[in-house]
Structure 1
Amino acid sequence: MARRLEDARILMYSHDTFGLGHLRRCRTIAHALVEDYRGLNILIISGATIAGAFDYRARVDFVKVPSVIKLRNGEYTSMASHIDLQETLKMRESIIRHTAETFQPDIFIVDKEPMGLKGEVEETLAYLKARGTTLVLGLREIMDAPHLLDAEWKKNGTMQKIDQYYDSIWVYGPPDFYDPLIGLDVPQGVRRKMDFVGFLQRSVSSSKTSVNARKDNYILVTTGGGGDGSDLIHDVMNAYEQDSSLQQKALVVLGPYMPAAERNKLLRKGSKISQIEVIEFDNHMEELIAGATGVVAMGGYNTYCEILSFDKPALIVPRVKPREEQLLRAQRASELGLVEMLLPEQSANAAIMADALKRLPHRESPSKSAGALRLDGLNHLSETVGHWLDSRGRHLSVVGAE
């Protein structure tokens, strides 16, 4: 049953400088909340270049800020090469503040970057806190290796600012899987605000069908946004080229952020392998994962949640630099028996990769493991948001399902 609210508003911020993970997580949360609550409107501020390529439910919309690209060395540059980075950041900061002033949200949810890209949301946080908005920081269950995160946050005084501004911290995973702030000096005030909500379960939309949906027996190879995924796809194709006994059909999704030169090389290479079909992008990845026999991926947060949600055997080859988030997630999931993991140097060995690909369809699904599988995050968030909005006078009433 849906519940009705009186003109409630949630603003979400997704900095989006590399890949699709932040926007896809915000969109998943937004869709779940508007499905549960009529009268709720959600606006997502996003820096993703392809934010408009996704479908949005009624009462969910987005505001696009100028795009900034994160380079492999960790530095940033403007998407528009003729505009200085500092000018781009000023525009982004101004749009974020103006959107908050105009939209007047009851709740402001910031994804992953506590003060935003280069501190661009701090002024907005101060403004919204002064007017009584509930401020929420959403963290992946794994942020990065503790020594890297600690150095980054100490440099910017981030932990103190989190304590100063935020009312609640949502950790998008169960407490027995990983603690995103492990190894850091965490003030008690911050610890008290942390709520381990569980993984964010995914589902297939009943109203949309992927044009790439297949009925046959295939493994799915995906690297998320694809910005740093070409090595893994090359490794998979090399395994097929060098082991003729590998006959499993594979659907390879390159991702929208894969550099053009790498994209073209892989399209040519894949066209010569009869068992492989290569596509560039699909905005309904949930359907492709749900239909697959197994999944080969780098193990970003969203893909991992989809693997668990659709209970798919998985082979994970994580990114190991500049951030170690995917490596830590893959190691922990492998330790719990939820996935098989190969390090990049193992993946680059065609014989090792071929053997792993052959094992994949016969591997037990994650639900057969005793590992941390709880997928109650969206339900937990919905209950929390409903309580907050009701306490703010956005009165709740039960109505029939939409």
Structure 2
Amino acid sequence: MSSVAIIGAGTGGLCLAQALRTAGIEVKVYERHRSPADALHGYRVRINPTGARALRHCLQPPAWEAFLSRAGRIRQEFGFLTERLRELAVVDGGPDAEQHYSAERGMLREILLAGLEDVVRFDASFERYDRTPDGRVECRFADGTRAVADLVVGADGANSRVRRQYLPHAQRVDVGMVSIVGRLALSAAERLLPECLRARPNSVVAPHGTGMFVAPHEPGADEGYLMWAYGAGEHRYPVGVEAMDGARLAELVAGTTRSWHPALRAMIRETEPGTVNAVTIRTSVPPAPWPATNVTLLGDAIHSMTPLRGVGANMALNDAALLARELTGAADLRTAVRRYEAAMRRDGFRAVAESLRAARMFVSESATRRLLFKTVLRTATVVPPLRKVLYAKLC
């Protein structure tokens, strides 16, 4: 293995670069954004045990310790409530559950970029690649520059240009769901909301194919906040909902939750409109296995998933660790890529399927399915092993 070009300096791409640099493999990362501070919008990243193990494998010990010192710990409980805040169940992973973390995006990028100053090139917008006569891959960028590598890794997100060229048949589709998301400052949450909403993540199981996810994010490098996400089938929204401003979106959610608990309505009312936006939920369609070459894909570039269960970033980290292991000391590049892609497809698209099932359940309009789900949750309150199973499957 002589050289690797990674397209995209997101979580997965940088994690892979860290591991390859440590292994002594020549690596370069090309990122279309102009600086490390760009594209850090969104919410804190939940790092589950799978993602944490991958980070620990790929990072040098000082960087891993820096992550541990700066990440928040997520309480090992997850609640299910009705829209009137009646408790259906609180599940947990038991006393031996592995730790989950909450990572502010800027902090995570800072840790993943440390030591890679000569590796990452910003303002490098990938356009396409070509094969060279000797079998290598030449990447072309919008500014006219080129770069040649033995292996190209597309880590350029859900709208990946690498995937579009390499696997043009691989699709992303709407799942029929729109989520309106906002965040409330913790100071306001402490004044307005009961302890159950401020202390742990919760899923609000509401009638008529609607639901809400509420999760606190403790202070870190940024101010702490409580994130909420209201979800429903896209047919329940007016046309053009994604283009509405935050104030109009908050009004829309308030109008559909008139019968909900006053605390939830206060949370929506007091949310700063500038933090509210609407997102059409999409998911990857698993393509048939493809023959391994010296181009491959990682994370959302190949298996993007719904935000339900919050595992997208963790699967990108998992991919990075899998690929780094295969490439380190590999005698044959295509064999290493083939082994990586087999494991990546298995793990990644299993997560895609689980996330899709969760999304469909979240907005299911079947009264029977919702009643059955509530029955299972209530049963879990008196059957400890079931609580642990549900925590693993749903959280």
TM-score with structure 2 length normalisation?
0.30
Higher percent of residues as strand = 2
Higher relative contact order (CA 8 A, sep 6+): 2
